A and B are shown apart, each in its own frame.
Chain A
Amino acid sequence: MQSKEEILDQLIELIRPYAEEPIVLSEQTRIIDDVGLDSMKVMELVMQIEDCFDVSVPLNILPDVNTIGEFAKHLETLLQDS
């Protein structure tokens, strides 16, 4: 089971290639407003996260996810439940 920090670091590495401009990614970075992902890219990212963490990530959680930190928190819960 990965630690909270490990989950966050891995998530940041998965999101980094999507950044349109080189920006510093942190817990507070907003995935759509700051990184610039559109809805289709968010969907692709979810599948990559599923494969990287070997966990099911229902699209239903997306309305509650704004920042990378929030996504990491959801992932932590999903990993605990799986």
Chain B
Amino acid sequence: MTTLLEKFRPLEEKRAALVASSGEDPFHVIVERVVSATESVVNGRKVIMVGTNNYLGLTFDSDCVAAACKAAKEEGTGTTGSRMANGSYAAHVALENELADFFNCPAAIVFSTGYIANLGVLSALTGPDDVILMDADCHASIYDGTRLGAAQVIRFRHNNPADLEKRLQRLGEKASRTLVVVEGIYSMLGDRAPLREIVDIKRRYGASLLVDEAHSVGVLGEHGRGLAEETAVEGEVDFITGTFSKSLGSIGGFCVSRWPELEHMRYAMRPYTFTASSSPSLIASTRQALQVLSRGVELRRKLWNNATRLYQGLTEMGFDLGPEISPVIAVKLPVSIEGDPILLWGELLSQGVYVNLVLPPAAPGGCSMLRCSLSAAHSPEQIDVVLKAFAVVSAKLKLEHRT
């Protein structure tokens, strides 16, 4: 007799094989103690965290922590319900106003996570007569958002404007009812969308454009508004979604738009309507973090210095990396060394460096990757420790390959 749970057996067998081959479960790491924005205790020892997406290091910013504590004391630990049912706290609305001001947009909506922001916006904005034309490397939340909605979904080849145009052209009259979806910085390879070309194409075909700036807010642009700011096309981007769980150091998501009608969508988004709203402490620390981020020129300089230091060091060691220097650095591993990605990841951990292990199909192109993400809070000395760990591990593996 088969049960509902039977379908998980192949998954468990695969997981067990991974653990058996490496002695570690790379997808169930326990962070025993958080020491700082860049260090935690894992397996009983202090390690440098190089996979947290904590780009500006604001999780331990003293003003953000103080704001969160104050809000928890004054307004409690949670809101215990959705904004439409329980009402919006004044701070939710204040954060929306502050986000709208920050992005120079007439409308902003705050969501409980970045994932929910994409689910809500994509499913509500497009209907059965509309089309979503998305970059093939878009995040799972974008794929899932399209599944929650009813629009026709078409993919174009990653960062390939000509491929996008070919597909828009094919849509004929439907092009004007098409939402093109791209990301500011892609979460796996760390590369930027060619946004100026994409904006030019969407303008010519009368399509709309949504840019997910989850990994680029706080990271790109003079004021940290992301790739749209960096490429000077903010007036042409129709919707920007993003998260509070990276540069802003908390949890939550948002959408801002140059169209005031975004406000009407609030009442049509099930993922907004039926999720408990963010707790007062999260909203308070995010509001504080947004202030820090908007004045964060120095933080961004440190972040990019760290990214450049690591990227250049790894390049010199001969690692195959993502296509451009970025706070997300993907160390791509050859497809032929099956089993080794986990050993390599485990070796880094034993050297005191935690990175994200990415196995197919999560990594584009079917390869395995060791994904690093940098923080402004990393010191240059920490980056050197990370480089040393990669060097030791690389040498050790080569030795093993020879025997």
Q: Interface of A with B (CB < 8 Å)?
A: 38-40, 43, 46-47, 50-51, 54-60, 82
Contact = CB atoms under 8 A, between A and B. Distances in A.
A16 B170 CA distance: 26
Nearest to B136: A43
B153 A59 contact: yes
Nearest to A40: B361
B153 A60 contact: yes
A50 B167 contact: yes
Interface string B343-379: 0000000000000000011000010000000000000
Contact of B170 (A38, A50, A59, A60): A50
A55 B170 contact: yes
**Interface of chain A, helix or strand or loop or mixed?**
helix
A39 B153 contact: no
B402 to A, nearest CB: 31
A39 B361 contact: yes
A39 B152 CA distance: 18
Contact of B155 (A38, A43, A51, A54): A43
B361 A38 contact: yes
Contacts of B171: 56
A49 B338 CA distance: 31
Interface residues of B, number: 16
B16 interface: no
A55 B156 CA distance: 13
Given A43-B136, A47-B155, A54 B361 contact: no
A56 B152 contact: yes
Nearest to A62: B153
B154 A57 contact: yes
Contact of B154 (A38, A39, A56, A82): A56
| Most B Cβ at <10 Å: residue of A40, A43, A54 | A40
Contacts of A55: 170
Interface in B144-201: 146, 152-157, 166-167, 170-171
Interface of B: 131, 136, 146, 152-157, 166-167, 170-171, 360-361, 366
A60 B152 contact: yes
A56 B155 contact: no
A56 B361 contact: no
A58 B153 contact: yes
Contacts of B154: 50, 56-59
A58 B167 CA distance: 11
Nearest to A39: B361
B338 to A, nearest CB: 15
A40 to B, nearest CB: 5
B182 to A, nearest CB: 16
B371 to A, nearest CB: 18
A54 B170 contact: yes
A60 B127 CA distance: 13
B139 to A, nearest CB: 15
17 contacts: A39-B361, A40-B366, A43-B155, A47-B136, A47-B156, A50-B154, A50-B167, A50-B170, A51-B166, A55-B170, A56-B152, A56-B154, A56-B171, A57-B154, A58-B153, A59-B153, A82-B170
Contacts of B361: 38-40
B170 A56 contact: yes
Given A39-B361, A46-B155, A59-B146, 9 more contacts: A40-B360, A40-B361, A43-B136, A50-B170, A54-B170, A56-B131, A57-B154, A58-B131, A58-B154
Contacts of B156: 47
A55 B360 CA distance: 29
B152 A58 contact: yes
Contacts of B146: 59
A40 B365 CA distance: 9
A47 B170 contact: no
Q: State the 10 A-B residue pairs at the shortest beta-carbon distance, nearest first.
A: A58-B152, A59-B153, A40-B361, A56-B170, A56-B154, A58-B153, A60-B152, A60-B153, A58-B154, A56-B171
A47 B152 contact: no
Contacts of B136: 43, 47
Contacts of B152: 56, 58, 60
B167 A59 contact: no
